[in-house]
Structure 1
């Protein structure tokens, strides 16, 4: 197969809603940063994949046109919280298929404050079947319904495996500790376990400090072939060695399980495919960017991605195998919990972090001897992309 190299990455700072530049600047600046990092010009880009969730049609063109009017095809992408990594997946597919030798994936979002709500009330909700299952479990299905999915999943996990409520909270503490060393993260002030536990409840066991905030930002990556890199005198240092996109399986609606509803099976399936392509598994990686929209999701996905056996994720947290000095460093960026979660940009911000880690450029948050990395980006409704990276 064609080797797909990461030639450049770029990322804006992440902002609170109302405090950021417009999405046009966020997308443009992230793309420009990635192109500059790659050492090429915009005219060298053969395909553009622009991911966003909160925007109208052709927002990708609006953000990217300032880079130049070259006639390059621009594909607008939306795929729930996995939008950014879906754009990355499509850029890689364009190269693998021979449609392009150099492709840009860019993601951005300019979010509004407050919880994510359904945009259209005059037609079936995309999460309608999920909301029916949430209602069957006794959850709230209007207003701020997203925490309910993860709160109910967390309670089911506790009932099955006896995990302590404090274990979920410890993940939030770890996220802030990591974010303290990330200048682009939204929340960088460390917090204590006591503060997390005492925060206003959202849907037990989740408190407000265990949920990612609405965020504005942009991120981008330039991918290319080896032949393209040689012709342009580039020396990329990171390769995407495995990647898979998976959607939900029949257990989501057939079992009545709230744990199944948040997507561990599609994460397990996607990760297995990515590991097979890479030729190595989770224990061979040193650094991970994992979709921690809520602390419950991070804990559950430890098992889905193969970092812990069934029911053993709590032990991983207690042994501190998710931070510096442990078996892996999970979310050195601070993750969605602390870095922020502008839906269209998140998957590409994860890519940015892992590429910087594998290049050895992550400064105060650098993971020692990082040579292999795993990225996990998941959206309810559903889509999950798992990507494996290796230093060259």
Structure 2
């Protein structure tokens, strides 16, 4: 039986939703760099698609010009292309396209971004199993790159679209296992890699790493660092209102009336990726605020049954007595989990109260900043992948 939303909660969610009215759009002008290095304002005609029943997948790789040096960008793509070639072999006949989204922050950097994509097209030309398209577009905003890639996938009638962050490390066979699982389930829903966290050399990062290991907050569905989703779920792109890409996929696919509400959102145990938790205190504080804002906005916007399940079973499970006691790992662990989750809930409630008041006084928040970009003029990153040593 579908639970009925209490009237006070309905009022609260309505005004919270009104407290956030973004003033930006994710649609950006895109220049396409093709496999032969040519540049065009329109996408060229692709080779014929595979026969019906054989998946055609696009993987969007969002990055930006100052993320890495040219040589590091080439090494980064070379590593991913090797994984994607294995993924193509995992499902015979599958067609895989890689869409590298290169954002730039200043107009004078546009030519350099196109030149960087031409270099990457040369790297991709060495791997015949994967088709390459470069996307040059102004930043900031990961979602703008994802929407540009989703538009390409829709225009070409592909089966699914996925995306990979540029600051993770994939274990061998990660993408092959991901694609194999997705195809084995009829290319339906969404699949994601199992994430392996690592603390960075900051006290805040080490603390958050330990706390997250206890609470496991919002970790049981595919995350946007390594995700593959059937195209109809993101058809038309992620709306301008949302910054958190995996949150959009999660709320679209949650099925609270099913025996397993997460049956369309699968984590693949054999597909593993490594990532770093937070950073310095100031950066971590800004990141926590962004995460909380996104949680609050989705919970305010979506239907009550979906929001209720996300709140109780994904975001704040084990927060006794509000959402039950988790004794699966022992009583002491359950007490610690409940206490830590209540602290996190306090931050969440403060963020929700801010948006509620903004809605009441009609001064809505206009922007949720997400990505941390290297400032214009800063040197390129030319060292090893940030997780090379941590995950060795």
Q: TM-score, normalised by structure 2?
A: 0.28
Q: TM-score, normalised by structure 1?
A: 0.28
Greater Rg over alpha carbons, structure:
2
